[in-house]
Structure 1
Amino acid sequence: MTRKRIALALIASLALAAFALGSFLYQRSQAAAQQELARSNEGVFARAHSPTYGDPAAKVRLTEFFDPACETCRAFYPAVKKLVDDSQGRVQLVVRFVPFHYGADLAAKILVAAHDQQLFVPVVEVVLATQDSWASHANPRPQLLWGYLAQSGLDIAKAKAAVDTAQVKAVIAQDMADARSLNVTRTPGFFVNGKPLERFGYEQLLELVQREVELAYGQ
Structure 2
Amino acid sequence: MNKFEKLIYTSLAILVGLLIYTVSGIPNTTENHTSVKASSSKTGQSSFWAAEHSPVIGNSNARVTLVEFIDPACEACRAMYPYIKQILSEYPNDVKLVIRYVDFHKESEQAIRILEAARQQGYFNEVLEVLMAYQPAWAPHGKQGIDPWTLFEGSKLAIEKAKTDAQSTEISQIIQLDKQDFKASGSQKTPSFFVNGKPLTLMHPDPLLEMIKKELAPSQTQ
Do the two structures share a fold, i.e. TM-score over 0.5?
yes
Q: What is the rounded CA distance, in whole Å, between the counterparts of 2:161 and 2:187 in structure 1?
A: 32
1:69-148 aligned at under 5 Å gives the runs 69-141=73-145, 144-148=147-151
Q: What is the rounded CA distance, in whole Å, between the counterparts of 1:71 and 1:156 in structure 2?
A: 26
**SS of match in other structure, 2:136:** helix
Q: Give the greater-gyration-radius structure (CA).
A: 1
TM-align CA RMSD = 1.8
Output the amino acid matched with 2:201.
Answer: E
Question: Residues 60 and 212 of structure 1 are in contact (CA less than 8 Å); yes or no, is this contact kept in structure 2?
Answer: yes
Output the amino acid matched with 1:176.
Answer: K
* 1:189 paired residue number: 192
Output the amino acid matched with 2:86.
Answer: K
The Cα of 1:216 is off from its aligned counterpart by 4.1
Unaligned runs of 5+ in 2: 1-42
* 2:33 paired residue number: none
Q: What is the rounded CA distance, in whole Å, between the counterparts of 1:45 and 1:165 in structure 2?
A: 24
Any idea what the Cα deviations from partners look like across 1:49-105, whole Å, max 9, x if unmatched? 211111111011000000100111111111101101111401101100111112211
Q: What is the rounded CA distance, in whole Å, between the counterparts of 2:99 and 2:70 in structure 1?
A: 7
Unaligned runs of 5+ in 1: 1-38
Q: What is the rounded CA distance, in whole Å, between the counterparts of 2:106 and 2:187 in structure 1?
A: 17
Q: What is the rounded CA distance, in whole Å, between the counterparts of 2:119 and 2:45 in structure 1?
A: 25
How many residue pairs get aligned? The number is 179
Moved over 6 A (4+): none
Normalised by the size of structure 1, how large is the TM-score?
0.76
Instruction: Work out whether 1:165 is the aligned partner of 2:168.
Output: yes
Normalised by the size of structure 2, how large is the TM-score?
0.75
- 1:40 to 1:81, Cα distance in 2 relative to 1, 3 A: farther
Higher helix share: 1
